[in-house]
Amino acid sequence: AQSVTQLGSHVSVSEGALVLLRCNYSSSVPPYLFWYVQYPNQGLQLLLKYTSAATLVKGINGFEAEFKKSETSFHLTKPSAHMSDAAEYFCAVSVTAGTALIFGKGTTLSVSS
């Protein structure tokens, strides 16, 4: 069965610093991978997705993620953090059409000035 692990429940960075949020997946077949962002008391918004095309995926708000099969990872990065990036981020995986996404437990990103 597939699963996803987000390393670090809370990440703190300074404004302008690199953002790195870690996600590792477990799957016996090529996965589809997603990153979502959630602002307080709101639903989730899709940041980016990997669907077996390019391994480096660019998303909204300057975020990108790289699929590394050898490391079973799909880490999310942004070169320079902005105060508005403070939110909770979820990694999700799916491998089979018609089954529901499996989400990680989330990483809360704090950005200080």
Partner 1 sequence: DGGITQSPKYLFRKEGQNVTLSCEQNLNHDAMYWYRQDPGQGLRLIYYSQIVNDFQKGDIAEGYSVSREKKESFPLTVTSAQKNPTAFYLCASSSWTGLGDGYTFGSGTRLTVV
Residues that bind partner 1 (CB under 8 A): 9, 32, 34, 36, 41-46, 49, 51, 90, 92, 94, 97-106
- Is 104 within 8 Å of 4 (Cβ atoms)? yes
Query: Whole-number minimum distance, CB 22 to partner 1, in Å?
Result: 15
- Is 31 within 8 Å of 68 (Cβ atoms)? no
Question: Which of residues 16 and 30 has its CB atom nearest to partner 1 in the complex?
Answer: 30
Q: What is the DSSP letter of 92?
A: E
Query: Whole-number minimum distance, CB 16 to partner 1, in Å?
Result: 29
CA 9/CA 71 separation, integer angstroms:
20
Query: Whole-number minimum distance, CB 20 to partner 1, in Å?
Result: 19
Question: Which of residues 14 and 42 has its CB atom nearest to partner 1 in the complex?
Answer: 42
Question: Which of residues 34 and 67 has its CB atom nearest to partner 1 in the complex?
Answer: 34
Question: Which of residues 43 and 70 has its CB atom nearest to partner 1 in the complex?
Answer: 43
- Is 111 within 8 Å of 15 (Cβ atoms)? yes
Residue 86 tokens, joined: 């403070």
- Is 101 within 8 Å of 93 (Cβ atoms)? yes
Query: Whole-number minimum distance, CB 14 to partner 1, in Å?
Result: 25
